[in-house]
Amino acid sequence: MDHPVLDQLVLAYGALFNAKRQPAITRLTLHPLVGAPAELADGVLAMLAADWPETNGPLALNPTSEPLLHALLERPAPAHIQLEVPAFMAADPASAELLRAHAKTGSVLVLKGRPLAPLPPDLAGCFKHVIVDAAEDRRQQPAPANAPARSTPWVIAAAPTATVAADALKRGALAVQGWPLGDAPAANVARKDVPASAQVVMDLIQRVDREEPANKLDAVLRGDPALAFKLMRLINSPAFGLSVEVSSFQHAIMILGYQRLKRWLALLMTSAVDSPDLKPLMFLAVRRGLLMEDLARGLGDESARSEAFICGVFSLLDRMLGQPFDRLLSSLPVAEGVAQTLVGENGPYRQSLNLAIAIEAESPHDITDATGEMLLSAGEVNRAAWKALLASRQMQPE
């Protein structure tokens, strides 16, 4: 995983969610650093060949510079690697032959935005799907009754709300690029009932915090077999690399200990919400936790890494449960540093949370600023991000 190319760019990632609210396509933004070598494209493709096999699913590349995009177009890529091409380039006759040649190799192209004028049919046929901004999509709605069906599968980007995203999927969109997180609940929001499964997990976290006997914890979990199944599946996920298969909750405590068990319960907390539109947030929360845990390795002890992981996983819990953090944390025991970070703008994990958010937003300049604030190099951050991306892919349901 120690690829030299990771020292030569700013890496960011996203996901495209399908109608089942599952991450169907992973998106990787590549922003070359000043002075990056011309062979950057070779390094990117070598990294993907080593770490992103076809079994990992489709991966869309979003290069931010024309030289890198042109270099990638000059090199064939396997069919599960997609290359995004901006509409202005597709409409440029000078680039058309390069696009046609790339598509003829079996490589996959994606059109980013709509050209001002229709593309020639043979060139339009080179693109697997088109990415349409939500604002443009709304301007086209409602479509005339006699309007022809969309000839190319389409993906909606920059959806402002989950309602807009869900509506696009109902109208036939292939996917939604980046799921809208929504606003954090206001302090005066009405109290809502916490889902029963979430209450069970909160109870378990409190009992683990008190280090109650394993048989008592096991009895609580047996009352919700679906949660017990989810927990065993999480614990035995390849992402966490246990050398033995954990067969029961008591076995988990014996293998992991109480403190390490908290991370799995934190993951379980995000899966205890039933709303389909919250599934993407669960995925994003897990990926945040994995990234923040890796960024915390420089802090030293395992407890700091565990707290950083829980902080990342819980960072979207207010949106999932519709309650502000100060209210949630009154019944959900977390370390003081985690609470400080989630409730306010300070706290020991605030900088790494800000960096994780910048990476998810695929904003190279914000990533660079947040990286500098943490006194890290681009390579260090990229390696943590790439590792988190691969680990989160291992945790996705098949």
Question: pLDDT per residue over 352-380, tens digit each?
Answer: 999 999 999 999 999 999 999 999 999 99
d(C-alpha 375, C-alpha 377), whole Å: 7
Q: What is the maximum alpha-carbon separation in the chain?
A: 71
Cis peptide before 67 (omega within 30 of 0): no
Query: Of all helices (H) and strands (E), which one includes residue 197?
Result: helix 196-209
- Segment 190-207, tens digit of pLDDT: 887 778 888 888 888 888
Residues in contact with 257: Cβ distance below 8 Å, sequence separation at least 6, in sequence order = none
d(C-alpha 76, C-alpha 119), whole Å: 23
d(C-alpha 81, C-alpha 52), whole Å: 9
Q: Are 394 and 290 contacting, i.e. CB atoms less than 8 angstroms apart?
A: no
DSSP notation for 34-97: TT--TTHHHHHHHHHHHH--GGG--EEEEESSHHHHHHHHTS---TTEEEEEEHHHHT-HHHHH
Task: Share the mean pLDDT of the chain.
Answer: 89
- Segment 125-160, tens digit of pLDDT: 999 999 999 988 876 666 544 444 456 899 999 999
pLDDT at 149: 45
Q: Are 307 and 284 contacting, i.e. CB atoms less than 8 angstroms apart?
A: no
Q: CA dihedral in degrees (72, 73, 74, 78; nearest 10)?
A: 80
Residue that is written with structure tokens 């999927």 in the block? 169
pLDDT at 198: 83
The pLDDT confidence band at residue 291, using thresholds 50, 70 and 90, is very high
